[in-house]
Amino acid sequence: MYAPRVFISMLGTLIVFAIATYSLTNSLSTTLIETVICAVLLQIGYFLGVLYLVWKERKSRDALLNEDKATTTGQEESKVGGLSAPNLNRSEPFNP
């Protein structure tokens, strides 16, 4: 989720929502109030989406750490910040 793309998409959504609301109600005050409510709901959804992504990343890191601990029982490896050194030298990105 890239912030600039999300904000531009959110702005476009709010503009379409405001136009649709105004065409249905013909009231500028109702349109403004409902558009502000829509903006707050979109921000809550964005926050929950980011929170979910952070939770998912934490879960995958914990699984990776547990997997490393299970495969290296009894062996002494160099550790960097809780991760084994071979995992830090991977060529693919950390995020799956």
Residue 66 lies in a domain: no
Q: Which two tokens stand for residue 75?
A: 């062996």
Residue 63 lies in a domain: no
* Domain of residue 20, residue span: 1-57
pLDDT in tens, 59-82: 988 888 887 777 765 555 555 555
**Number of domains comprising the chain:** 1
Residue 10 lies in a domain: yes
Residue 89 lies in a domain: no
Confidence of residue 43 (pLDDT cuts 50, 70, 90): very high
